[in-house]
Amino acid sequence: MKRPFSLGDLVSFQLVTGQASEGTIIHRIIEKRQPTIYLIESADKRRAFRFETELSLVTPVEEISPVDEPHADHPRPTPVFAAQRADD
C-alpha cells in the first residue's frame, strides 16, 4: 500500500501538456466517491489539482530541510478560501 501524501510533501506529476513537473502539496480535498484530490504548488508559483493516483512521492516533508526548499526565506503558502457566505 502506498503511503498517503501529507501537506508539504514534494511530489512529481504530469502537466496537461505531458511534461513532467514537481511541486509541494499545499491542500488536500477528501471526497467519498473518488480518490483524494491534492492542490500542488510548483516552484514557479503555478498551482495544479491532481488525484492521488496521478502523483509520485519525491521527498516526504519529514526529509525536507529549510535549505532544500526553493523559497526557504518565505513561509509555506497557505490556501485562502472565500467565506461560506461569500457571493460568487
Domain extent for 22: 10-63
Name the residue with cell 480535498. 29
Is 37 a domain residue?
Answer: yes
Q: What is the mean pLDDT of residues 10-24?
A: 92
In the sheet that holds 56-59, the strands lie side by side as: 47-51, 37-41, 20-29, 10-14, 56-59
Q: How many domains are contained in the chain?
A: 1
Question: What pLDDT sits at residue 88?
Answer: 45
Read off the pTM: 0.67
Q: What is the mean pLDDT of residues 32-37?
A: 89
Is 72 a domain residue?
Answer: no
Question: What pLDDT sits at residue 76?
Answer: 55
Query: Buried b / exposed e across 35-55, counting CB within 10 Å, b at 16+?
Result: eeebbbbeeeeeebebebebb
Q: What is the mean pLDDT of residues 9-25?
A: 92
Q: What percent of the chain has pLDDT over 70?
A: 68
Is 36 a domain residue?
Answer: yes
Is 17 a domain residue?
Answer: yes
When comparing pLDDT for 71 and 28, which is higher? 28
CATH number for the domain that contains residue 41: 2.30.30.140
